[in-house]
Amino acid sequence: MEWLTRQLELLAEQGLKRERRALSPLADGWVEWQGRRYRNFASNDYLNLASHPRVLAATNEPLKSTVGSRASALVSGRTIWHEQLEETIATFEGSEAALLFPTGYAANVGTIAALVDSNDVVFCDRWNHASLIDGCRLSGAKLRVYRHDDLDGLQRELCKCSTSSRKWIITDSVFSMDGDIAPLAKLCDLAAEFEADLIVDEAHGTGVFGATGRGVAELTGTEHRIAVRIGTLSKSLGTLGGFVAGSRSLIDWLWNRARSQVFSTALPPAICAAASAAIEILQAEPERCRYLLELCDFFRSELQSHGVQPMLGSIGPIVPIVIGDSIATLTIAQHIEGSGYLVGAIRPPTVPNGTSRLRISVTSAFNPADLSNLAVTIADAISSSNNNASS
Ligand SMILES: *Cc1c(COP(=O)(O)O)cnc(C)c1O
How far, in Å, is the centroid of ligand 1 from the Cα of 131? 7
The string of pLDDT tens digits covering residues 243-294 is 999 999 999 999 999 999 999 999 999 999 999 999 999 999 999 999 999 9
The radius of gyration computed from the CA coordinates of the chain, to the nearest angstrom, equals 21
- Percent pLDDT > 90 in the chain is 94
What is the distance, to the nearest Å, from the Cα of residue 324 to the centroid of all Cα atoms in its chain? 23
Which of 125, 171, 232 for a ligand 1 pocket mutation test, highest count of atoms within 8 Å of Cβ? 232
Instruction: Summarize the confidence of residues 349-370 as an average pLDDT.
Output: 96
Residues with CB under 6 A from ligand 1: 103-105, 108, 129, 131, 172, 176, 201, 203-204, 232, 234, 242
How far, in Å, is the centroid of ligand 1 from the Cα of 361? 15
pLDDT reported for residue 17: 86
Question: CA 115, CA 239: separation in Å to the nearest integer?
Answer: 27
How far, in Å, is the centroid of ligand 1 from the Cα of 227? 19
How far, in Å, is the centroid of ligand 1 from the Cα of 349? 17
The string of pLDDT tens digits covering residues 68-78 is 999 999 999 99
pLDDT reported for residue 391: 66
Does the N-terminal peptide bond of residue 349 adopt cis geometry, omega within 30 degrees of 0?
Answer: yes
pLDDT reported for residue 388: 84
Burial letters 331-367, b for 16+ CB under 10 A, else e: bbbebbbeeebbbbbbbeebbeeebbbbbbbbbbbbe
How far, in Å, is the centroid of ligand 1 from the Cα of 281? 22
pLDDT reported for residue 54: 98
The two beta strands, 167-172 and 196-201, are parallel
Closest ligand 1 atom to 241 CA: 7
Question: CA 107, CA 144: separation in Å to the nearest integer?
Answer: 21
Residue 159 has pLDDT above 80, yes or no: yes
Which of 132, 235, 318 for a ligand 1 pocket mutation test, highest count of atoms within 8 Å of Cβ? 235
- Residue 312 — very low, low, confident or very high, per pLDDT cuts 50/70/90? very high
Helix/strand number for the chain, H first, E second: 15, 14
Ligand 1, atom 8, lies closest to the CA of 104
pTM, two decimals, is 0.96
Residue 112 has pLDDT above 80, yes or no: yes
Closest ligand 1 atom to 132 CA: 11
